[in-house]
A and B are shown apart, each in its own frame.
Chain A
Amino acid sequence: MSHPATAISSVKLAWALSWAAFWTGFPFKVIVALLLLAAQVHPWEGTGLITLLMVSAPIDIWALGLTARTFFLERMGIEVRGPVGIGLWWQGAVLGAGMLGVAYYAVGTTAALCKKAAEATLGVVKKVIPIPVAEQITIELLMWAVPATIVLIMCLLIWLKLFGWRIKRFVVASGQTSSAGLQERVREWDAWRVPADSVLMLISFTAVAVLLTVAFWVLLPVTTPHRHPDYPPPQADAVKKKVKPEELLKKTEGTLAKAEAVLGSLEEEKAKEKKGKPKGK
Chain B
Amino acid sequence: MASAQPKIKSKVRCLDGEVGEIVHVIADPISLEISHIVVRANGTQRQVPASAIAAVRDDSVELLCNAAQIAGYPEHKPDDFLTSKQVEIPHLENKVHVEPGDLLVPFPVLEKSCPRRNFFAGFIHVIGALIALPLAWPVLRFITKPMYAPYDNHWIKIGNVSKIKTEDVGVQYIFKKAFTDSVLQREEDKNHWVIKATPEVLKKIYKHGDISFTDEKGEVIWVNKQTVPYVAFAGKCPHLGCGYKWRSHKTLGQVFLCPCHLSIYDNTGKVLDGPAPRPLDVLPIKVSATGDIEIIDVEYKAGKSELVRIA
A interface list, Cβ under 8 A from B: 183, 186-187, 190-191, 194-195, 198-199, 201-202, 205-206, 209-210, 213, 216-217, 220, 222, 243, 245, 248-249, 252-253, 255-256, 258-260, 262-263, 266, 280-281
15 CB < 8 A contacts A-B:
A187-B110, A190-B110, A194-B120, A206-B130, A213-B130, A213-B134, A222-B141, A243-B219, A245-B219, A249-B220, A255-B286, A256-B227, A259-B287, A262-B289, A263-B229
B228–A259 touching, CB < 8 Å? yes
Interface size on B, residues (CB 8 A): 35
Could you tell me the distance between the alpha carbons of A252 and B286 in the complex, rounded to whole angstroms?
9
Could you tell me the distance between the alpha carbons of A263 and B293 in the complex, rounded to whole angstroms?
12
Instruction: List the 3 shortest-distance A-B pairs measured between CB atoms, nearest first.
Output: A198-B119, A262-B289, A217-B137
Q: Chain A residues with Cβ under 8 A from B229's Cβ?
A: 263
State the Cβ distance, B255 to closest chain A Cβ, in Å. 16
B interface list, Cβ under 8 A from A: 109-110, 113, 115-116, 118-120, 122-123, 126, 130, 133-134, 137-138, 141, 161, 165-166, 219-223, 225, 227-229, 286-291
Q: Chain A residues with Cβ under 8 A from B126's Cβ?
A: 202, 205-206, 209
State the Cβ distance, A237 to closest chain B Cβ, in Å. 11
Q: Chain B residues with Cβ under 8 A from A255's Cβ?
A: 286
State the Cβ distance, A27 to closest chain B Cβ, in Å. 9
B130–A256 touching, CB < 8 Å? no
Q: Chain A residues with Cβ under 8 A from B220's Cβ?
A: 245, 248-249
B219–A259 touching, CB < 8 Å? no
Q: Chain A residues with Cβ under 8 A from B130's Cβ?
A: 206, 209-210, 213
State the Cβ distance, B115 to closest chain A Cβ, in Å. 6
A259–B118 touching, CB < 8 Å? no
For B142, the closest partner residue in chain A by CB is A222
Cβ contact of B116, chosen from A191, A216, A217, A243, cutoff 8 A: A191
A258–B289 touching, CB < 8 Å? yes
For the residues of A in contact with B, the DSSP-based class is helix
| Interface-centre pick from B120, B134, B223 (highest chain A CB count, 10 A) | B134
Q: Chain B residues with Cβ under 8 A from A249's Cβ?
A: 220, 223
Cβ contact of A183, chosen from B109, B137, B286, cutoff 8 A: B109
State the Cβ distance, A247 to closest chain B Cβ, in Å. 11
| Interface-centre pick from A205, A206, A220, A262 (highest chain B CB count, 10 A) | A206
For A243, the closest partner residue in chain B by CB is B219
A280–B227 touching, CB < 8 Å? no
Could you tell me the distance between the alpha carbons of A262 and B123 in the complex, rounded to whole angstroms?
78
A248–B115 touching, CB < 8 Å? no
Given known A187-B110, A202-B126, contact A210–B116 (CB-CB < 8 A): no
B134–A266 touching, CB < 8 Å? no
Could you tell me the distance between the alpha carbons of A262 and B160 in the complex, rounded to whole angstroms?
14
Cβ contact of B161, chosen from A186, A222, A243, A266, cutoff 8 A: A266
Q: Chain B residues with Cβ under 8 A from A209's Cβ?
A: 126, 130, 133
A260–B222 touching, CB < 8 Å? no
B133–A220 touching, CB < 8 Å? no
Could you tell me the distance between the alpha carbons of A252 and B210 in the complex, rounded to whole angstroms?
13
Cβ contact of A187, chosen from B109, B122, B286, cutoff 8 A: B109
Cβ contact of B288, chosen from A198, A205, A259, cutoff 8 A: A259
A202–B286 touching, CB < 8 Å? no
B225–A256 touching, CB < 8 Å? yes
Could you tell me the distance between the alpha carbons of A259 and B161 in the complex, rounded to whole angstroms?
12
Cβ contact of A280, chosen from B116, B165, B219, cutoff 8 A: B165
A259–B289 touching, CB < 8 Å? yes
B134–A217 touching, CB < 8 Å? yes
State the Cβ distance, B196 to closest chain A Cβ, in Å. 9
Q: Chain A residues with Cβ under 8 A from B134's Cβ?
A: 213, 216-217
Could you tell me the distance between the alpha carbons of A249 and B134 in the complex, rounded to whole angstroms?
48
B288–A217 touching, CB < 8 Å? no
Q: Chain A residues with Cβ under 8 A from B137's Cβ?
A: 217
State the Cβ distance, A28 to closest chain B Cβ, in Å. 13
For A267, the closest partner residue in chain B by CB is B229
B161–A194 touching, CB < 8 Å? no
B115–A263 touching, CB < 8 Å? no
